[in-house]
Amino acid sequence: MSGKIDKQLFKAHEQALEHKFCPECSGELTIRYGKRGPFLGCQNYPECNYIHPLKSNDGHVVKELGIPCPECESELVLRQGRYGMFIGCSSFPECTHIESLEQKKEEPKDHIACPSCYKGLLHEKKSRFGKTFYACDGYPNCRFIVNLEPQSGNCQECGFSLLLKKEMVTGVKLVCADKKCSTIQK
């Protein structure tokens, strides 16, 4: 094998894009790079805003499940989306029914009130990276969020109306949820 690079390999890739034209203004489409990766964009930007993704994470069907949708009786399918796998209705966008793959946990019997707005309740949620957090169900009006499991109770030091379970070397301790205080409870 020789140490020379075959320049034809790169030319073939460039020629594949030469025949793609913008459907809005007939300008040539070129590869551009954004925060979500490469995409095809019109050369006449900013006059023409046309873009086309190179890879598809838009909920394409992976497998048909053979189970009827509870909302419209169409078949449920397994889809791959931007944030991972999920179950959705095959008649999307007419029916927008979706389900998580994870088994639903039983809701805690004692719902904990949000200490910020006093109207909502704190619920366990998962980030797009799979990390657990607890947030007020009054979102977007209330943006209260904590990363540790909340517990009912008042702080002994400042009186804040929420405590958090924190695992420490000495065992599980309760700490104040107020970031200004963070006192370990006795």
Q: What is the pLDDT of residue 93?
A: 82
Which of 36, 61, 40 has the alpha carbon at shortest distance from 49?
40
- Is residue 185 a part of any domain in this protein? yes
Q: What is the pLDDT of residue 109?
A: 46
Q: What is the pLDDT of residue 108?
A: 47
Q: Which residue has the tokens 């607890």?
A: 134
Q: What is the DSSP letter of 13?
A: H
| CB distance 118 to 141 below 8 Å | no
As a whole number of angstroms, the distance between CA 21 and CA 16 comes to: 12
Q: Are residues 151 and 111 in the same domain?
A: yes
Q: What is the pLDDT of residue 6?
A: 64
As a whole number of angstroms, the distance between CA 159 and CA 7 comes to: 71
Q: How many domains does the chain have?
A: 3
> Which H or E element spans position 10?
helix 8-18
- Is residue 19 a part of any domain in this protein? no
C-alpha dihedral over 54, 58, 62, 67, to 10 degrees? -160
Task: Tell me the pTM.
Answer: 0.44
As a whole number of angstroms, the distance between CA 39 and CA 34 comes to: 7
Containing structural domain, residue 132: 105-186
Tens digit of pLDDT per residue, the chain (186 long)?
556 766 655 554 554 544 678 888 988 888 888 877 778 889 888 899 898 877 655 567 778 888 899 899 899 888 877 767 788 888 888 888 888 776 544 444 467 889 888 888 998 888 888 888 999 988 889 999 999 999 888 888 888 888 999 988 888 899 998 888 888 887
Judging by beta carbons within 10 Å of its beta carbon (0-12, 13-18, 19+), is residue 139 exposed, middle or buried?
middle
Q: Are residues 95 and 109 in the same domain?
A: no
- Is residue 18 a part of any domain in this protein? no
- Which of the listed residues 78, 99, 120 is the one where a domain comes to its end? 99
- Is residue 10 a part of any domain in this protein? no
Q: Are residues 70 and 133 in the same domain?
A: no
